[in-house]
Amino acid sequence: MLSSALNRAARSGRVRRVVERVPVTRRVVDRFVAGEEIADVVLAGEYLRRQGRSVTIDVLGEDVTDAAGAAATTAAYLALLTALAEQNCAEGADVSLKLSALGQALPGSGDELAESNARVICEAATAVGATVTLDMEDHTTVDSTLAIGAKLRVEFPLTGSVLQANLRRSERDLADLAGPGTRIRWVKGAYREPRDVAYQQKTEVDDAYRRGIRSLMESGGYPMIATHDPAMLGHAVRAAAETGRSAGDWEAQMLYGVSTDRQRELVEQGRRLRVYVPFGTDWYGYFMRRLAERPANVAFFLRALARG
């Protein structure tokens, strides 16, 4: 119930205006978002790199409704990649793109515009030794996002894709996608979806997530297991060992500001770990989905509010 309400709030302009006016919100957001400027996220990336963690960086924003907004998002990614290269932090880094922020939702030519903008970013990333991963959004965008990813991989084979375990179709998509070397981020899913396209019970999603981990480890793809659930991480470690994967043949991924102690433990164990680092001023939708995913995040927010 709480998760559903928070996911609805993520799309509500009225709730957004209320949340953004609460003075303490900024302090709480700083836990999950690495600042508003490129310089902020570069510093965060440098720190994480010194700690033995890789990064994937997200320029916050989604649901762009005009070509100018899509161009601005593209320019922000290009500036980010340039800044990372100037600080010698680009090699091995990744950037995560939401195609809705690159024009996907525009009527008529949205797919073509998003693909064109993503291609420009892929070219810039390749030039500095970085990679690109296409984030997955709600179920209505899956076909478009997977199709654009397939086209980009022809020229940029390391372009990653994200699949969500809560969608009933995702295990089939995973089997279709997991070819040799394909980078696949496997997540549980942060969007509230209709019953006919998505599992509704946590146990169903967990079961699907475990099956997907096993399928990825058995595949020729490169698994990126995105979870903070210790049980799922343990399952991934066992599945990797049972399928003969070394520590360098897959990676765990976690969110910036979440489970930081566990992140350190994984690095100390010799695991590959990549941190999803968002930055920018358009943080509201991302922030609300982080609250929706974990009750502990809501409790953290409420405690901060109580402290004023």
Catalytic residues: 135, 185
Closest by Cα among 62, 9, 57, 13 to 35: 57
How many other C-beta atoms are found inside a 10 Å radius of the C-beta of residue 143?
12
For the stretch 29-50, what's the b/e string if a residue is b when 16 or more beta carbons lie within 10 angstroms of its beta carbon?
bebbbbbbebebbbebbeebbe
Please give the Cα distance from 253 to 186 (Å, whole number). 9
Contact 276, 58 (CB under 8 A): yes
Integer angstrom CA distances of residue 49 from 147, 264, 273:
32, 12, 10
Please give the Cα distance from 114 to 99 (Å, whole number). 6
